[in-house]
Amino acid sequence: MKQCMDLNNLHRRLRKIEGQVASINRMIEEDVPCEDILSQINAAKSALHKCGQIVLEGHIQHCVRDGIEHGDVDKTIKDFTKAVERFANMS
């Protein structure tokens, strides 16, 4: 599945998210106000959601297109539906 993803973009975003999570952990240890911690948790969640969008877009551009053009259309639609359901459950 690597060929359907923008790996450099995803890795860059995931490293940033790792930093955000580490920062949240430090904030908890430093007794930062709860609302500030929640803001950072929300930022990390939004960043993960964007990663999901990138993966889904890559899936559409590569896997779905290839499946429709060269593969089993019914299986492609089933797999796409599963991907959309999983993405929708991320919210």
Catalogue all structural domains in the chain, each as residue range(s) with its CATH number.
2-88 (1.20.58.1000)
Question: Band of the pLDDT at 1, cuts 50, 70, 90?
Answer: low
Give residue 6's pLDDT: 83
Question: Band of the pLDDT at 90, cuts 50, 70, 90?
Answer: confident
Q: How many degrees, rounded to 5, is the angle at CA 66 between CA 60 and CA 71?
A: 125
Give residue 4's pLDDT: 74
Beta-carbon contacts of 6 under 8 Å, excluding residues fewer than 6 positions away, are 54, 58
Q: Which two tokens stand for residue 5?
A: 């993803």
Please give the mean pLDDT across all residues of the chain: 93
Task: State the pTM of this model.
Answer: 0.84
Q: How many degrees, rounded to 5, is the angle at CA 27 between CA 25 and CA 29?
A: 75
Beta-carbon contacts of 89 under 8 Å, excluding residues fewer than 6 positions away, are none
Residues 37-78 have pLDDT tens digits of: 999 999 999 999 999 999 999 999 999 999 999 989 999 999
Give residue 2's pLDDT: 67
Q: Which two tokens stand for residue 63?
A: 């896997």
